[in-house]
Structure 1
């Protein structure tokens, strides 16, 4: 029984590492309307986000100053920036 519990815990951690849940990009960082705006544009990674300018992202429906401020802070922490 204990072996099954240990195996289940190991498998769940492996699944969490290998399985990216759609819509989880920036979860807990910015609000859902802003996340949906990025999802609609197929922006699902910081790498793709760095291909856009701050002005282009601000034009998306669902993005405002609050979301942009949080996003810029998160990007800075991860050494990523918007294109110029």
Structure 2
């Protein structure tokens, strides 16, 4: 299913505030988020439950997960 899997080289589409929060914290790509504690990301301003769920789902496509 080409084109369905999220790329490890970019961030998934999670909305501008959550994307800005990740960039400000130094996360530039999905691969950077593997193993990061969910609670740590939840503390970022602009990062909500929906964005966290999208990130987790995208990581799971690559057999990865949040910490």
TM bin, normalised by shorter chain, reads 0.7 to 0.9
Displaced runs of 4+ in structure 1, greater than 4 A? none
Unmatched segments (≥5 aa) in structure 1: 1-23
May I ask how many residue pairs the two structures share in their alignment? 59
Relative to the length of structure 1, the TM-score reads: 0.60
Relative to the length of structure 2, the TM-score reads: 0.73
Quote the Cα distance in structure 2 between the aligned partners of 1:56 and 1:25.
20
The structure that has the greater radius of gyration is 1
Give the number of the structure whose residues are more often helix, by fraction: 1
- State the structure with bigger RCO (CA 8 A, min sep 6), 1 or 2: 2
